[in-house]
Structures are given as structure tokens and as C-alpha cells.
């Protein structure tokens, strides 16, 4: 079983690529955004707990997010592996993910970071904002803040897995097909 973290700043193309990788490698794509929508939409105990924090304008605690992720993994015993997209975002989340996988006799096999410069990300998100309906994709100041938050809080996760010799970067600029080929090559080499 292969477990992969698809890594990169907002707008780097993780979601777009994960959908294609999921199909090619018969892995299950786990997006934290999708997890939240599912759990909240189905009014599960974890979803209701998450909603209470979101409604109060607070961050959802790691243990709630990790509980949702564990539920999703456990729902797919047939999976050949998982593609984690948007998770882990912090070192404590990475440690919790590793602990959960260790309990299953598994581990993260690779973290692949899509390397995209800030200006490209801003343009991609502004373009996406025209059709996504997401307010956070339509405001350049908000986008730049999201990039800064990623650099401060999330990018250390790359180093955490690099110490385990499983992190690598690939060029995240070019056609969707070219990036997919680079990702596929990297995954096949794991």
C-alpha cells in the first residue's frame, strides 16, 4: 500500500492532479475540504463538532480533523493507498498521521511538493476565483496572505518528511498533462 502526500501552496494544482492520480494508481484521494463538507453535510458527530468551531470563527482542532481522516481511511479497506491533499498542514498533524498509519503497520511513502512561484499562484487563484464562487480566490490580498500562512505554518511539513527521506519537489508549472507525467514518474519510483 502506498501513501502519498501531495503538497504545495494553495493554487499549485494539487486537487486537479490528485483526481487523475487517484484513477491511474487506484488510490483514494483525501482532500480535507471534501472531508469537512462530507462530515458536516451528513451531520456526523465529528461534523457537528467541526461546524461548532467553524461557526464560532475558530480553527477546527487537529483531533477533529484527524478523526475525520481516520474515518475516511477506514471506509476504504480495498484502497491500494491514499493521496493526502491539504493534510497534514502542521508538524503536529504530520506526527498524528504517522502515528495513525504506524498503528496500521503503514507509513507515508512519499511527499511530493508541486513547486510554483508566488506570482503564478496569485494569477491561477484569481482566474479560479472567476468561476469557483470562492471569495478567498477573488481577493489578491487574501491570496497573498494564504501563501504567507502556507510558508510559515505548512512548509515545515516538507522538512519533517525530508528528514525521513521521503520528500521531493517537482516542477508544478506547465500543462496539466506535463505535470501529471512528472508526478506519475515520481510515484512510480517510490
User: Can you give the pLDDT at residue 113?
Assistant: 97
Which pTM was predicted? 0.91
Annotation says 182 is catalytic? no
Choosing from 14, 49, 72, 124, which is the catalytic residue?
14
The catalytic residue among 51, 128, 144, 182 is 128
pLDDT of residue 2: 92
* Given the residues 2, 49, 124, 146, the one annotated as active site: 146
Rounded to whole angstroms, the Cα distance separating 132 from 114 reads: 21
Q: Which of 37, 115, 134, 164 is catalytic?
A: 134
Mean pLDDT, each 10-residue run in order, the chain (190 residues): 94 94 95 89 94 83 93 93 93 95 96 97 93 84 90 94 97 97 96
Is 37 annotated in the active site? no
- Burial (CB count within 10 angstroms: exposed 0-12, middle 13-18, buried 19+), residue 8: buried
d(CA 135, CA 90): 24
Task: In whole angstroms, give the CA distance from residue 21 to residue 28.
Answer: 9
- State the pLDDT at residue 20: 95
Q: Quick check: is 128 catalytic?
A: yes
For residue 135, count CB atoms less than 10 angstroms from its CB and return exposed for 0-12, middle for 13-18, buried for 19 or more: exposed
Topology, domain 2-116+155-188: Rossmann fold (3.40.50)
Q: Verify whether residue 89 is a known catalytic residue.
A: yes
Each domain of the chain, given as residue ranges in start order, spans 2-116+155-188
pLDDT of residue 137: 86
pLDDT of residue 54: 82
Distance CA 124, CA 118 (A): 10
| Annotation says 14 is catalytic | yes
Amino acid at each position: 500500500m502506498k501513501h502519498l502526500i501531495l503538497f504545495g501552496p494553495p493554487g499549485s494544482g494539487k486537487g486537479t492532479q490528485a483526481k487523475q492520480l487517484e484513477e491511474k494508481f487506484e488510490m483514494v484521494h483525501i482532500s480535507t475540504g471534501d472531508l469537512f463538507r462530507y462530515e458536516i453535510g451528513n451531520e456526523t458527530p465529528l461534523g457537528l463538532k467541526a461546524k461548532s468551531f467553524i461557526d464560532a470563527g475558530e480553527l477546527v482542532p487537529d483531533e477533529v480533523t484527524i478523526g475525520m481522516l481516520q474515518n475516511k481511511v477506514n471506509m476504504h479497506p480495498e484502497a491500494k493507498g491514499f493521496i493526502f491533499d491539504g493534510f497534514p498542514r502542521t508538524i503536529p498533524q504530520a506526527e498524528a498521521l504517522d502515528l495513525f498509519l504506524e498503528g496500521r503497520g503503514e507509513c507515508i511513502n512519499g511527499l511530493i511538493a508541486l513547486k510554483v512561484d508566488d506570482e503564478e499562484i496569485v494569477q491561477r487563484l484569481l482566474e479560479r476565483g472567476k468561476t469557483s464562487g470562492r471569495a478567498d480566490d477573488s481577493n489578491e490580498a487574501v491570496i497573498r496572505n494564504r501563501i504567507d500562512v502556507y510558508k510559515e505554518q505548512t512548509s515545515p511539513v516538507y522538512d519533517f518528511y525530508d528528514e525521513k527521506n521521503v520528500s521531493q519537489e517537482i516542477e508544478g508549472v506547465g500543462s496539466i498533462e506535463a505535470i501529471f507525467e512528472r508526478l506519475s514518474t515520481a510515484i512510480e519510483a517510490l
